[in-house]
Structure 1
Amino acid sequence: MNLKDSELKELKQAKELLENPGLAAKITNYIGMPLEKGMELLPKDWNGKIVKLTHQAITKSADAALFTMKNNPGEKSSNIWHKATVAISGGAGGFFGFAGLALELPVSTTIMMRSIADIARSENHNLNDAETKLACVEVLALGGKSEKDDGTESGYYVTRALLTQQITMAAEHIATNGLGKEGAPALVKFFTTISSRFGIQVTEKAAAQAIPVIGAAAGASLNLLFIDHFQDMARGHFIVKKLEKRYNPEFIQEQYISISLN
């Protein structure tokens, strides 16, 4: 069994997107200083607040975004439009500084979730399918390449492995009850895990916005970095999942790991 040349090219593109430097590296490069400076300015109780804030943002955005998009598999995604709208929300959040994040995050997360679903649809995934809906939410847990990753184990597949069982159980629940029943144990566990990982990246963004020199214009730019990162993660993720449907997950994982990006 072998991939076609076009499929191998797609898989390499996916790996290039998924194994790119994480959001923290991109933000650090943009603001020109270590994120640690911003981390020191965050409130001491920020960790507890971010978990609650991201959980609310994700559950509300999933319901608002995933159930209002038309299911037209293969339709081209509108990446630029979503970037423009999330930049506007980021500008408003940046204008009000750190305090504006609580108001801005649910809006930007909903826009990003719609963009992620739009990309899934463009890669011929069925948005009416429970696993596709969960795969859209799963994208928010993808952080890009970490310094801890080695040549044999990608951060992408480590995250996938962490969520596999939770997604299976959550998909079974959604197929029967829908995504709105978030009180179900399977969904609570899934959304909590996603919120925890997404919260790390929201904290990095908040740390940058906490630095006094970051204003409204920079807030918009940070949101562009934010959505650009998750659009890349979504494109790579749904290319991989598309190929998994044609072949099988184990085979695609082997092919993915064997691809050299050097």
Structure 2
Amino acid sequence: MDRDLTEPTSDLAAEVAELARRYRRANGPVIRLVNRLGGAFEAQLSALPESVRSQIERVTAQALEASYGVAARTPDLGPRGPMAAVIASGAAGGAGGLPTAVAELPVTVTLFLNAIRAEARAAGFDPNEDWVRAECLQVFSAGSPLKQDDGVNTSFIGSRLALTGSAVQNLIAAIAPKLAAVLGQKLAAQAIPVLGAVSGATLNAAYLAFYREVARVRFALLKLAEEHGTEAVEAEFRLAATPPKVIRA
């Protein structure tokens, strides 16, 4: 009996459609609220001292570079450990207002990256392989919880980078502005002492949930690419993740 050649394509389309649905729903209620209040947060961010605003991207890049090495040496915190840790980190960072919020950034970025590495491991990849380490970093550029950046980077499946020192620097330089925009919103919310502790804990939890879900989708797609090929999976995901165009009469 001849094999039905349409079946693998149908199965792949269904699996990718489910992953695209999960990606679209990665934003939880807290992030949706933040996006609705985006103007207020942006005004609060612009009210921060210029020295602080210019520092955010620099600190973010430094945090990414440091956590890239530190996360590899950090033990797996289990399924609930990362959430508890980022909540505690956010609360501690916001308790003292802006100075402690800035100081908290490297800890939070490391915890985010540690959780992303755990998702790579759960999908069957070795997070210590260079190309997987690159994929872990690129989760931060695969999409963003911010409303103004609701697109998704689909040109990543199978892009197994050889991470030389310069390649890591270039990758971090490309990612840092995007992550800094997210963390800048968080810093603005944490700028008020005591109240900032609640904001920091809440936003850390929401952002961790977002990036962890994006990582699950990303590594699931990479797993499918090993079976079905890069081009087929990338095409299916781009199709499933792109909202249909609204045609007005």
- With normalisation by structure 2, the TM-score equals 0.80
Is residue 93–residue 190 contact of structure 2 (8 Å, CA) maintained in 1? Answer: no
Cα distance, 1:16–1:79 mapped onto 2, change above 3 Å? farther
8 Å CA contact retained: 2:94, 2:194:
no
Listed one character per residue, the Cα deviations across residues 50-72 of structure 1 (whole Å, up to 9, x for unaligned) are: 121001111111101124457xx
Q: Deviations over 1:166-186 (max 9, x none)?
A: x63xx252xxxxxxxxxx322
Q: CA 1:42–1:143 in structure 2 vs 1: closer, same or farther (change >3 Å)?
A: farther
Aligned residue pairs total 235
Within 2, Cα distance between the matches of 1:241 and 1:99?
40
1:15 aligns with 2:14: no
**Overall identity of the aligned pairs, in %:** 25
Structure-1 separation of matches of 2:15 and 2:49:
43
8 A Cα contact 1:82 1:111, kept in partner: yes
State the structure with more CA Rg: 2
Q: Which runs of 5+ in 2 are unaligned?
A: 245-249
Look up the SS of the partner of 1:119 in the other structure. Answer: helix
Picking from 199, 218, 232, the partner of 1:251 is: 232
Residues 86, 111 of structure 2: 8 Å contact kept: yes
- Residues 30, 208 of structure 1: CA spacing in aligned structure 2 closer, same or farther, 3 A cutoff? farther
Q: Structure 1: which 5+ runs fail to align?
A: 71-76, 174-183
TM-score by length of 1: 0.76
Residue 135 of structure 1 and its aligned partner are, at CA, apart by: 0.5
Which of the residues 58, 66, 85 maps onto 2:64? Answer: 58
* Cα offset, 1:132, TM superposition: 0.4
Structure 1 residues 38 and 214: CA distance shift in structure 2, 3 A: farther
Q: Contact between 2:117 and 2:127, CA under 8 Å: does it hold in 1? A: yes
Matching residue of 2:86 = 86
1:221 to 202, 210, 216: 202
Q: Is the 8 A contact 1:35 1:204 kept in 2?
A: yes
Given candidates 189, 214, 218, the residue that maps to 2:170 is 189
RMSD: 3.2
Residue 17 of structure 1, CA deviation: 3.4
Secondary structure at 1:155's aligned position in 2?
coil
Residue 156 (structure 1) aligned with residue 153 (structure 2): yes
Q: Distance in 1 between matches of 2:149 and 2:198?
A: 33
SS across alignment from 1:125: coil
Call closer, same or farther: CA 1:30–1:111 in 2, change over 3 Å: farther
Residues 94 and 192 in structure 2, CA contact (< 8 A), matched pair in contact too: no
More divergent stretch after superposition (17-26 vs 53-62): 17-26
Return the alpha-carbon distance in structure 1 between the equivalents of residues 36 and 99 of structure 2. Answer: 21
Q: Is the 8 A contact 1:89 1:108 kept in 2?
A: yes
